[in-house]
Structure formats: structure tokens, C-alpha cells
Amino acid sequence: MDFTLSPEIDMLRLKVRAFVEEHVIPLEADRANYDAHENISLDVLRPLRDKAKAAGLWAPQMPKARGGLGLPMIGWAAFYEEANRSIFGPLAFNCSAPDDGNMNVLNKVLKTDAQKDQWLQPIIDGKIRSSFVMTEPHPGSGSDPGGMMLTRAEKRDGKYIVHGRKWFISGADGATHYILVARTSDDPRNGLSAFLYHKDQPGWRILRRVPTMGPEELGGTCEIEFDNLEIPEENRLMEEGDGLRLTQIRLGPARLTHCMRWTGLAKRCLEIAHAYVKERKAFGTTLDQHESVQIMLGEVAAEIEKGRLLTMHAAWKLDQGEKAQKEISMAKIHVADTLNRAADVGVQLCGARGYSKDTVLEWIYRYARCAKLVDGASEVHKMVLARSLAKEGNDFWSWG
Ligand SMILES: Cc1cc2nc3c(=O)[nH]c(=O)nc-3n(C[C@H](O)[C@H](O)[C@H](O)COP(=O)(O)OP(=O)(O)OC[C@H]3O[C@@H](n4cnc5c(N)ncnc54)[C@H](O)[C@@H]3O)c2cc1C
């Protein structure tokens, strides 16, 4: 087994690291660089993105022919981990959620170059943002979209007419292209379909930007109402009834890219804590000499490394053309927990300073909580694993 990165990917990783150190981390300290929802302000983001493009560090997940870096998944993992050493890093390189997952699925399922030019290229270029519109408030679908989805797209005269309500749609405020999942039949397996719509189409509106405990993605998390949105048949993605399949194509890699980014954030928490405990003294010595401090740092470091290996293994499997569903679920459960633990230990070891806004620890601490919910709650991933275990028996542990 060879765990080394190729020289090309490792060089790129170091380039991202240097860029983040020089151009991105310094922006975090000044509150003037933040928007009203605790993310980077657009005025600061635009020139930062120009610099990233000029440095050849743009859209690592997209094909070279479309202006990206054309990396394999393993390369994404190395890139994203370094990118998210800063809370603003993924946006700087155009590899942040939800655009990242939306670009990836559109690149896979759009059939013609003309469709890609229209719906995908402006997102790659960073000219517009996009949203993935699936989750619904009660009594609609959350963890169980196949069984519970209420938003309907009814086919009439070559068009789909959409009625329903969605919520927690990341980036929806200010997005231009939306990927919508809606019910087209009551078939339990093939009842959902996926569509594209443009912000200027009538028949839908944002009801509110749902306030949350954490810092927000650009465009927040929004509640949306559909009342007679008309979608032409050519804007359906894949075949009618393929909505859940499309969701899996999107969410598998998207969950893993969360893990890649969260690993970078968790490492940053340790980095900040370590810098503090090396300097700060109590009871006759620097804090890093106290054994219980060392245990906290050592335990989190080990959890981060376990998460990286799970993530890299899943990335490698995706690069082999496998779905890696189990591996992605394991990585998602573990890395979400690790990010929460790392943020908590970071705050704890920095004492009152950790609780202040003088570092990004409190930002990461609040943001981290959503990691156990987004793209499938941890309990649902555990259920998926238990089902696989029951079905596969000892084959669950196979290497191949
Ligand atoms: C910050 C943020 C951004 C999001 N962005 C998007 C987005 O862009 N687009 C989108 O469509 N959705 C988005 N979501 C929604 C997210 O995907 C859902 O929160 C997630 O799928 C869980 O659904 P739910 O919140 O409705 O939980 P529910 O289905 O209401 O479940 C509540 C809780 O019940 C438990 N539970 C559920 N099922 C099981 C089970 N089988 N076994 C044991 N326990 C279980 C879990 O603890 C779960 O957290 C976002 C959510 C957040 C918090």
C-alpha cells in the first residue's frame, strides 16, 4: 500500500497552503472583511478569487477544458484540506458548498456541451452561485426524501408544474441556478425527479432566510415556496424517476468533500490551540508541559488522522469508479465528530481567549454543529452502515 501523494498533487497542496497563509488567513482577523452573516464579504472575496485564478488555483474539481484543475478525488482531498485551513479558503478557490457539489453533479449528468455552457460554466467561472433544493419542513421530507417528499412536479403539455415548500436551502438567497428535487409519482423507488430552474422564472419565491446558530454560507439557508413554477421538459436532469439517483450522485462526493474541508478546519483548531499553550504559563510551566493538555492534543490529532485516512480511502475508491457508500458514511460520521471535538478542545485550551472573537475558534465551534446534520444526519449514516453489515456479513470488511 502506497500512502504517498504524487509529486504533482503534493506540489499543488503546498501551493494552496502558501496561498492560504499569505492571502486568506490574514483576512480573518479584521471584522470589516465579514458580511452581515459572518462570511467573507463579496467586496473582499472578488479580488481574492482573482488572485487564486491568477495563481492557477481555481475550481480543482472541474475539468481542465472548463477552466478547472481536473484533479482526481485524491487530489481534491489534498487541496481541500489545505484550502479549509482558513474559514474563507474554499470560497477563495471555488470549492465550497453548495456550488462544489452542484458543479460536480451537473458536470456528470448534463448531456450536451450546450447544456454545460448554459448551466454549469457560469458557476465554474464564479459568475453566479447555485443551490440544491431538496429538504422540506414538516410534514415533508428531511432524512427520508424518497418516502416523504411532498413537493410535486406534475407533467402537463410538455412542462412540469411545481407546487410545494422547501427549507434549509444553502446559498438560495442570491443564487441564479437551482437544482430542484420534486415528486413526479408515488412509486416508492422511482417517485422523485430532478430539474434545473433559473432565478428569473416566475412561480417561486424565497419566504425567509432561516436564522441559524452558525455562521452562514453565502446566501444563507432559505425557506422557499413553489406556486406554479413551470419547468420545460428539457430542463429535467436524467430521466423521470431518477431524482434519488441524481441525489446519490451529488451527495456521495459532496459528503466526502465536506470531510476533506472539515479535516482542514479541525487541524486549524489544533494549530491555534498549540500556538497558545506553547506560550501561556500556569503553575510554573507553559501549558503544553501539562500532561492532561498533551493528552487532549494527542487524542484530537489521532482522531484527525483517522478521519483523513477514512476520507482518503473513500476518495481512492471513488477514483476506482466505485460508489464507496459505506466508506463515505464512515468518513462523514467520524470527521463530523472530530471537527466538533477539535473545536471544543481548541476553545478549552485557549481559555477565555478561545471563547472570544479574537480567534476563529468560536466561529468554527458554532459552524461545526451542523456537520452532524447536513447531507444526512450521523444516525442515518449509521443506519446505512448497519444495513450493509446485515446484508454483507463478513464481506463488509473486504479489501477489494
Ligand atoms: C446548515 C445546513 C445546510 C443545509 N443545506 C441544505 C441544502 O442546501 N439543501 C437541502 O436540500 N438541504 C439542506 N440541509 C438540510 C439537511 O440535509 C437536513 O438537515 C438533513 O438531511 C436531515 O434532515 P432533517 O433536518 O429534516 O432531519 P429529520 O429528518 O427531521 O431528523 C431529525 C433527527 O432525527 C434523527 N433521525 C432521523 N432519521 C433517523 C434514523 N433513521 N435513525 C435514527 N435517527 C434518525 C437524527 O438525529 C436527525 O438529526 C441543510 C441543513 C443544515 C443544518
Q: Which pLDDT does position 146 carry in this prediction? A: 93
What is the average pLDDT across 206-219?
Answer: 96
326 occurs within a structural domain: yes
| Set of cell numbers at residue 114 | 450546450
Pocket test for ligand 1, best of 132, 165, 380, 387 (most atoms within 8 A of CB): 380
Residue nearest atom 32 in ligand 1 by C-alpha distance: 143
With respect to residue 261, please indicate whether it lies within any of the assigned structural domains: yes
Q: Is the pLDDT of residue 186 over 80?
A: yes
- The whole-number average pLDDT for the span 234-242 is 98
Residue 1 domain flag: no
Q: Mean pLDDT in the chain?
A: 97
The domain boundary residue, chosen from 124, 157, 187: 124
Does 224 lie in the same domain as 136? yes
Q: In the structure, what pLDDT confidence band is assigned to residue 343 with cuts at 50, 70 and 90?
A: very high
Q: Are residues 204 and 270 in the same domain?
A: no
- Long-range contacts, stretch 11-16, CB < 8 angstroms, 24+ apart: 12/57, 12/60, 12/69, 12/71, 12/75, 12/78, 12/79, 13/78, 13/79, 13/81, 13/82, 15/55, 15/56, 15/57, 16/57, 16/79, 16/82, 16/83, 16/89, 16/93
- Let me know if residue 11 belongs to a domain: yes
Atom of ligand 1 nearest to the CA of 375: 17
d(CA 189, CA 149): 12
pLDDT value, residue 258: 98
- Torsion on CA atoms 79, 260, 135, 143, rounded to nearest 10: 160
CATH number at residue 119: 1.10.540.10
Predicted confidence (pLDDT) at residue 283 exceeds the cutoff of 80: yes
Q: What is the model's pLDDT at position 346?
A: 98
Kindly state whether residue 290 falls inside one of the protein's structural domains: yes
Ramachandran angles phi, psi of 6, nearest 5°: -65, 155
Residues 208 and 249 in one domain: no
185/228 same-domain check = yes
pLDDT class for 188, splitting at 50, 70, 90? confident
Pocket test for ligand 1, best of 168, 250, 367 (most atoms within 8 A of CB): 168
Residues in CB range of 11: below 8 A, 6 or more apart: none
- The answer on 385 and 260 residing in a single domain is yes
Instruction: Tell me which of 225, 240, 255 is where a domain ends.
Output: 240
Q: What is the mean pLDDT of residues 197-201?
A: 98
Share of the chain above pLDDT 90, in %: 98
* Ligand 1 near 86 CB (within 6 A): no
**Residue 153 sits in which domain range?**
130-240
Q: 120 and 56, same structural domain? A: yes
**Shared domain check, 201 and 299:** no
pLDDT at 86: 98
The answer to whether residue 297 scores a pLDDT higher than 90 is yes
Residues 302, 229 share a domain? no
Model pLDDT for residues 114-141, shown as the tens digit of each residue:
999 999 999 999 999 999 999 999 999 9
Which CATH number goes with the domain that contains 335? 1.20.140.10
State how far the alpha carbon of 310 is from the alpha carbons of 14, 251, 335, 367, 398, in Å: 22, 17, 9, 22, 15
Strands 152-156 and 221-232: unpaired
331 with 383, same domain: the answer is: yes
Amino acid identity of residue 73, one-letter, is M
Q: For the chain, how many structural domains are there in total? A: 3
Cα–Cα distance, 371 to 351 (Å, whole number): 24
Q: Establish if 2 belongs to a structural domain.
A: no
What is the percent of the chain with per-residue pLDDT over 70, rounded to a whole number? 100
Q: Tell me what pLDDT residue 399 has.
A: 82
For residue 169, the cross-strand partners are 222
Is there a single domain that holds both residue 285 and residue 167? no
Check which CATH number belongs to the domain holding 176 and give it. 2.40.110.10
Phi, psi of 227 (to 5 degrees): -140, 90
pLDDT, mean of residues 245-261: 97
Q: Answer yes or no: do 341 and 256 share one domain.
A: yes
pLDDT digits (tens, 9 = 90+) for 344-396: 999 999 999 999 999 999 999 999 999 999 999 999 999 999 999 999 999 99
The pLDDT, as a whole number, for residue 1 is 86
Residue that finishes a domain, picked among 96, 124, 152: 124
Amino acid 357: pLDDT: 96
C-alpha 139 – ligand 1 centre gap (Å): 13
28 in a domain, yes or no?
yes
Decide if 33 is inside a domain: yes
* Cβ–ligand 1 contact at 90 (below 6 Å): no
217 & 259 share domain? no
Q: Which own/partner pairs from 61-69 qualify as long-range (CB within 8 Å, at least 24 positions apart)?
A: 61/95, 61/100, 61/103, 61/104, 61/257, 62/103, 62/107, 62/124, 63/107, 66/107, 66/116, 66/120, 66/121, 66/124, 67/121, 67/124, 67/125, 68/124, 69/12
Mean pLDDT, rounded, for 51-75: 98
For residues 79 and 12, the answer to whether their CB atoms sit within 8 Å is yes
Strands 221-232 and 159-170: antiparallel
Per-residue pLDDT band at 189 (split at 50, 70, 90)? confident
Q: For 351, left (φ over 0), alpha (ψ -120 to 50), or beta? A: left
Does residue 382 line the site of ligand 1, with CB under 6 A? no
